[in-house]
Structure 1
Amino acid sequence: MSREQQLVELVATDGTASGSATVEDAHRAPGRLHRAFSVLLFDPDGRVLLQQRAAVKTRFALRWANACCGHPGPGEPVVVAAARRLDEELGVSASLEEVGVYLYQAADPDSGRVEFEYDHVLVGAYAGPVRPDPAEVAETDWVLPAELEERLRRFPDFYAPWLAGVLDAWRSSQR
């Protein structure tokens, strides 16, 4: 089954499950609010791992984003789904901790698809090689958070529209 035909969990704005839809249907304009996750991985030097999304991605292709993103299936624990996607996309494993939730909606000007997500932000530590799947990831880069914030300010269109909010959720958890 293609990723676009897999089921995602639809939710209310408070995160309460309200049904399911295919990935494709949930991302068709105007978008349907659904559960998602975004993973931030940090190395021992405090750098955050970025990935440039592969050209074949149906939403925000070739934009830089956090280590990985995805959708748990209906009823699937977010941490379990996130660990699976880390392995599938980057060939890594890490202990993950949820640090917040970020609700956002963004339309991809290139594909017309819409992200409307109740996004669980997960953080983990990782040291070791990254083995990206080229069908998922074009490139990776490790960058200090302050440098990333400057890049986001100067070149916002190079980055996935959720990245700034994901970083804000992480920063809020540090206070």
Structure 2
Amino acid sequence: MLTLDKMEFSQTDISLGALLTALDERPEMPLVFHYAGRPIRAGYHITEVKAGQFSALDCGANPEAWSEIFVQLWDIDEDQRTHMRASKFTAIIRKVSEHVGLDSSAKLTFEVSDGVQPMQLFSADFPYVEGQAIRVDLGPRPASCKPRDRWLAEQQAPVAACCGPSTKSSCCA
């Protein structure tokens, strides 16, 4: 069983499956997304859930392919509503999955707008309990250069392999 403890998990770009599994732990708690320094309003709606399969060339002419799920949130106050329960959010997503076939390991992107401001794209951190609600922090989804990201990961890999807990080498001395 996962725990919705802020100290134990601090992860960005959570997958759809990991989010649903975490929310299943506390289905009756209100689900509150936080973005742009504030909580989403209590009347928010899930207006659309989209699944996409993407094929592209990155800026280094390398082929890329990935699955992505987009959850669109409409940030409004309406009819004295309270924040939806985690169980309602998961039920909506699972109903969409029955019809669309969502990949639970897909990259998850939230699209948020109040209907006036342009839609903004966000990635989600792992949810955690804050007070009497489940909080999910949404952070801006920045552009990136995949060849550069791969190069940076490769630069860090030798240090991790050399200095990892299973190494018997003294290369880190």
Identify the TM-score tier after normalising by the shorter chain.
Answer: under 0.3
When normalised by structure 1's length, the TM-score is 0.23
What is the TM-score when the length of structure 2 is the normalising length? 0.23
Question: Larger Rg: 1 or 2?
Answer: 2
